Amino acid sequence: MSEGKKFPQIIAGLAAAGGAFACGTTLGWSAPVQHAIQDGFYGFKVSNVEYSWVSSLITLGAACACIPIGIVINIIGRKPTMLLLVIPLMVGWCMLLFAKNVAMLSAARFILGFSGGAFCITAPVYTTEIAQNEVRGMLGSFFQLLLVIGVTYTYVVGAFLDVFWMSACCAAIPIIFVVCFICMPESPVYLVMKDKMDAAKNSYKFLRGADYDPTTEINEIRSTQQSKDENSGPIKALCRGVVMKALGMSMALMFFQQLGGINAIVFYSTDMFKNAKTGISAEMTTILIGVLMVVFTFVATLFIDKLGRRLLLMSSGLSMALATFAMGIYFYMYDNDKNSVESIKVLPVIAVLFFIIMFSVGYGPVPWLFMAEVFTPDAKAYAGPISGTSNWLMAFIVTNTFLLVRDAIGTGTTFFLFTLISVIGFIFVLIVIPETKGKSITEITMEIEGKKA
């Protein structure tokens, strides 16, 4: 295969990941505005229970989006789908800007979650499909990078602006995305699947350079399709053994990502910085965490195609286990005798920073990249959304049950539970997950099937 130019692929990947930036703003919005909204910014009071739903409905909306959007991207394509998603995003933000009651606020969050969840499927699929094997990991990581940049953006803006103007700044992001992405090509993989060979070749030439010969890539895509009959449907695609194995692996990584403790870490971070008397305000604490996630997710994009997915996942999982174990010890001692932790009050702060850093280089970006890499073209639009749905459903469950679990078994024991889950995840990756770095879909499929290339 002739060598293609990497720069156009990077530009197209970043443009597509603008949708992840928009998704990140919807995720980060609820944290900096909570007190203002509950104090009556909109002209009506919002209780703790109501705000809990306002915050978490975004994950439920995202879960509802994944499977339908998988069907849509196979019908109309990856690019048109992402452009059309800007419409519900703008509707959601307008509803937030002019909310008249809690129901309208909740509906807006659900709509924003639906749009964000749809981007979580479409953007990784698009970026991995436009990339050559040598840079697929980096482009696939753009999604998580722009996502955490979007979250951090809301933290920073929210520290200086009121709810209305912060929301307006977030609403501008989808418009910027359209301007950047509208000139990018459709995924050549999708075009080959639809037998639009001339369009596929033009897409490859845009992405790889005018002199690039896409014949080898086109032939490989066609060879991985079990049938050219588009009416074979999702059942046949999903029921193949290799797809079911890949789906199980992908869903497992989503499970370990969500249940490794990331939500609890973010939830407790402000209090832990305060208790350690670091002198850092609540607003600056959230901004610091956001900046750390951005910096080290960016680091992951630089090394993911050199170090590989497995090494990043294993080092991330083991480090997360160590961090939550340290926090478990701290909170176990704190729950039994508050004075006993006076000499180690800086421990949870160090553990939080270490956890955020190591999560960002492994379990943050890799599960989404893995989801977009391991499914054959005919199954990707069905299997990927199922995996994405599992991620958002687990996020919804965790955010709504964490306090109940903590109250039932204690904070320290809850963190020990996160440790156990991360250790199991480390063992699972070590034994089960194949390395996908630099491999074609044919090679990845053969490895999942247990065959030698």
- For 45, counting Cβ atoms within 10 Å of its Cβ (0-12 exposed, 13-18 middle, 19+ buried), the class is exposed
**Tens of pLDDT, residues 8-59:** 999 999 999 999 999 999 988 888 888 888 888 898 888 878 888 888 888 8
**Alpha-carbon span 440 to 442, nearest angstrom:** 5
Domains within the chain, CATH numbers bracketed: 1-224 (1.20.1250.20), 227-453 (1.20.1250.20)
Any idea what DSSP says for residue 252? H
Specify the pTM: 0.84
**According to the model, what pLDDT value does residue 228 have?**
44
**Alpha-carbon span 424 to 430, nearest angstrom:** 10
**Tens of pLDDT, residues 270-289:** 666 766 666 677 778 888 88
**According to the model, what pLDDT value does residue 452 have?**
56
**According to the model, what pLDDT value does residue 1 have?**
41
- Residue 312's nearest CA partner among 302, 324, 326 is 302
**Alpha-carbon span 67 to 443, nearest angstrom:** 27
Low-confidence ranges of the chain (pLDDT < 50): 1-2, 227-231
